[in-house]
């Protein structure tokens, strides 16, 4: 039985003070014990959020990491730094980082391996563009991203990695994938993990859907057999996030 996960991706939003206010609001509203709740927040907010979520079930997540341990990488954050302040999860390969910061599948894989080296669980994002969907190459695209991102993982790591299917055309558009579209690709992702690591492991790996998830569509999406929760952008910046966590599936 896979435990549901609902992760918020705040992207480049909220100052440290605003972050604390939002966490305080959410803590009071979230009432599900059987869901892993993760807040992936900007690096500058990590320490403030770490303090605010103490003595709650909410887990701390980062939005990015560098694949080297330390050195001359101005502006970057290492896994060691994240680890020391209690980060448990880190988003890797978000489509915004792939497109604006030119992260490719090789870099994504290096980051995934580095996160695991420090005991941080990567939430690996994959997803097709509208053009790729229209050209009917969605499955091929997703399979390549999954195979490259999860290359050289141990069985144990493959079991604990989280994969988020985020169709690019659904991000921030208010137009989410239908339950069937999301299920189809999440199922493909599980199949692909099965080919790489075996069916038993694939049945344990959590696969999330992301892209315009909100308080209204979450329960139906999360009820699909291969969707184990969501990665939430816009709706994670407000009280609505608690409704998504609390969704009855
Ligand atoms: P939205 O929920 O705003 O569409 O963003 C999804 C996303 O990119 C989460 O990583």
**Mean of the pLDDT values across residues 186-193?**
98
Q: Which residue has the CA at smallest separation from atom 5 of ligand 1?
A: 233
Is 57 a residue whose pLDDT tops 90? yes
126: tokens are: 């994959």
Q: How far is CA 33 from the centre of its chain?
A: 19
Helix (H) and strand (E) counts for the chain? 12, 8
Is 84 a residue whose pLDDT tops 90? yes
Of 66, 94, 96, 240, the active-site residue reads 94
Atom nearest to 232 CA in ligand 1? 2
**Mean of the pLDDT values across residues 58-84?**
98
The reply to whether ligand 1 has any atom less than 6 angstroms from the CB of 123 is no
pLDDT tens per residue, range 13-22: 999 999 999 9
List, as one string, the DSSP characters of 84-131. HTT--EEEES-HHHHHHS---HHHHHHHHHHHHHTTPEEEEEE---HH
**Mean of the pLDDT values across residues 37-53?**
98
Q: How far apart are CA 167 and CA 133, in angstroms?
A: 9
Eight-state DSSP code of residue 42: -
Listed residue (32, 28, 46, 45) closest to 3, CA to CA? 32
Listed residue (175, 180, 64) closest to 124, CA to CA? 64
Name the pLDDT band for 1 (thresholds 50, 70, 90).
confident
Assess whether 63 carries a catalytic annotation: no
Give the distance (Å) from ligand 1 centre to CA of residue 85: 25
Q: Is 208 helix (H, G, I), strand (E, B) or coil?
A: strand
Of 96, 132, 166, 240, the active-site residue reads 166
The reply to whether ligand 1 has any atom less than 6 angstroms from the CB of 201 is no
Atom nearest to 231 CA in ligand 1? 9
> What pTM was computed for the model?
0.98
The reply to whether ligand 1 has any atom less than 6 angstroms from the CB of 230 is no
Assess whether 94 carries a catalytic annotation: yes
pLDDT tens per residue, range 160-174: 999 999 999 999 999
Q: Which residue has the CA at smallest separation from atom 9 of ligand 1?
A: 233
Q: Which residue has the CA at smallest separation from atom 7 of ligand 1?
A: 233
Q: What sign does the dihedral 105-106-110-113 (CA atoms) show? A: positive
Eight-state DSSP code of residue 135: T
Give the distance (Å) from ligand 1 centre to CA of residue 72: 31
Give the distance (Å) from ligand 1 centre to CA of residue 40: 12
Report the run of H or E that residue 4 belongs to, with start and end: strand 4-9
Contact 190, 202 (CB under 8 A): yes
Angle at the Cα of 217 from the Cα atoms of 211 and 220, rounded to 5 degrees: 110
| Helices 105-117/138-149 angle, 10° precision | 40
Residue 82: predicted pLDDT: 98
């Amino acid at each position: 039985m896979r435990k549901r996960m609902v992760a918020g991706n705040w992207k480049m939003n909220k100052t440290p003070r605003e972050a604390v206010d939002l966490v305080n609001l959410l803590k009071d509203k979230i009432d599900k014990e059987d869901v892993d709740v993760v807040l992936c927040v900007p690096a500058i907010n990590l320490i403030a959020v770490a303090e605010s979520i103490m003595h709650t079930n909410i887990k701390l997540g980062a939005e990015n990491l560098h694949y080297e341990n330390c050195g001359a990488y101005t502006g970057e954050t290492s896994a060691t730094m994240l680890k020391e302040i209690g980060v448990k999860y880190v988003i890797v390969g978000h489509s915004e980082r792939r497109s604006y910061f030119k992260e490719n599948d090789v870099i994504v894989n290096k980051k995934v391996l580095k996160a695991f080296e420090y005991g941080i669980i990567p939430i690996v994002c994959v997803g097709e563009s509208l053009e790729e969907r229209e050209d009917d190459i969605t499955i091929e695209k997703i399979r390549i991203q999954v195979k490259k991102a999860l290359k050289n993982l141990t069985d144990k790591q493959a079991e604990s990695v989280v994969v988020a299917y985020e169709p690019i055309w659904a991000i921030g558009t208010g137009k989410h994938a239908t339950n069937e579209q999301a299920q189809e690709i999440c199922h493909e992702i599980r199949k692909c993990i099965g080919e790489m690591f075996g069916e038993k492991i694939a049945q344990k790996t959590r696969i999330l859907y992301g892209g315009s998830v909100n308080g209204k569509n979450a329960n139906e999406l999360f009820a699909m057999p291969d969707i184990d929760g969501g990665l939430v952008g816009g709706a994670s910046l407000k009280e609505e996030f608690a409704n998504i966590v609390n969704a009855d599936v």
